[in-house]
Amino acid sequence: MISIKGLKKIYKTKHQDIKAVDSITLDIDEGEIYGVIGYSGAGKSTFVRLLNRLEDPTAGSIVIDDKEMTSLKGNSLRLARQDIGMIFQHFNLLWSRTTEENIAFPLEIAGVPKKEREERVQELIDLVGLTGRETSYPSQLSGGQKQRVGIARALANDPKVLLSDEATSALDPETTNAILDLLVDINQKLGLTIIMITHEMHVIRKVCDKVAVMEAGQVVEQGQVIDVFSNPEQEVTRKFVEQLMTNTEEDDSLDFVLEQAKEGKIVQLHFAGESTNDTLISNVAKSYDININILQGKITQTQNGALGKMVIQMTGEKAILAEALNYLKNTSTAVVEVIRDDD
């Protein structure tokens, strides 16, 4: 669907050249939600703006839906842009237009006749959940509602790709979740490919299938969200995972937990992926005559299943405990690590 090769953007200043985007090579499949995460200044915004040519690349190629974007000019570029929707952190709505007029704007640009335009606008308003706010001006809408207008506007011309540049960064957590749910819903309903630029781990874990981690203009890690974040290789990726899991705190308190739980086996389960069996613990407890006590845990759900870890205490007869442990190891894909054996 989208194929990016050796993409570069270099800003020349008097004193030095700044590599905002440095040799990015990526492939994004149709219907995928692809996250690009990085701290500010990592070049992720420049990267997404290169995709619809709001910025001109210094080198490299971008193929979207078999169209080479980098060689397009004038009218053909404008037509190609109509197939790529974009939403923004600060919504970028026209304050002089009402909700429906804002959504109609891209249709006007594409030369859609008035009657069709009105029908399409109503459809979109229903799709994004803005029914009843048709004639409100942006100043009369909340942040979340404004972003819904932004999304409807971006979808007006039935694009194949949606670019989202920090679309939830100006919203509160609750509204962020509602907007993310809407994006996933649209992705599933319309089969739209979405590229999400963000600095929030939460966004990546909640909606993205794949992720690229950017640092200093380069993609330092990429792949399935669950793989990249269950096994971070780069320092920056590790930091993002910590942001989600706050691992450091847990490790500190593990000693405390071990002191408290004197008896039995202490086992740590690492979950990573869709095969995680959510009734695992109760299955073990039912099948074997042992007691299980959850001491500590942090598990978060991603698009591809659970990610996280849990520390449990297992008490009971020695032989049965060993059997139960084997059951754990064999039936779940969670990595089972015995922290303290029962001797």
Partner 1 sequence: MIDFSNLDTDKLWEATYETFYMTLISLTGTFVFGLLLGLLLYLTAKDGLWENKPINIITATFVNVFRAIPFIILILLLFPFTYFLLGTMRGPNAALPALIIGAAPFYGRLVEIALKEIDKGVIEAAQAMGAKTTTIIFRVLLPESMPALVSSLTVTAIALIGYTAMAGAIGAGGLGSYAYYAGFQRRAFDIVLICSIIIVLIVFIFQFIGDYLSKKLDKR
Residues that bind partner 1 (CB under 8 A): 52, 54, 77-82, 84, 86, 88, 90, 92-97, 105-106, 108-110, 137-139, 153, 157, 163
Q: Are 325 and 314 in contact (CB under 8 A)?
A: yes
Q: Are 100 and 134 in contact (CB under 8 A)?
A: yes
Q: Indicate the residue among 164 and 313 with the shorter CB distance to partner 1.
A: 164
Q: Indicate the residue among 80 and 322 with the shorter CB distance to partner 1.
A: 80
Beta bridge partners of 185: none
For the bound state, the minimum distance from the C-beta of residue 266 to partner 1, rounded and expressed in Å, comes to: 54
Torsion, CA 261, CA 306, CA 184, CA 235, rounded to 10: 90
Please state, in angstroms and as integers, the Cα–Cα distance from residue 181 to each residue in 55, 105, 252, following that order. Answer: 30, 25, 35
For the bound state, the minimum distance from the C-beta of residue 62 to partner 1, rounded and expressed in Å, comes to: 15
HSE (side-chain half, CA atoms, 13 Å) at 326: 7
Q: Indicate the residue among 110 and 338 with the shorter CB distance to partner 1.
A: 110
For the bound state, the minimum distance from the C-beta of residue 141 to partner 1, rounded and expressed in Å, comes to: 12
103, containing H or E segment: helix 99-109
For the bound state, the minimum distance from the C-beta of residue 70 to partner 1, rounded and expressed in Å, comes to: 17
Q: Are 214 and 44 in contact (CB under 8 A)?
A: yes
For the bound state, the minimum distance from the C-beta of residue 142 to partner 1, rounded and expressed in Å, comes to: 16
Q: Indicate the residue among 94 and 335 with the shorter CB distance to partner 1.
A: 94
Give the residue carrying structure tokens 């915004």.
45
Q: Indicate the residue among 109 and 294 with the shorter CB distance to partner 1.
A: 109
Q: Are 151 and 175 in contact (CB under 8 A)?
A: no
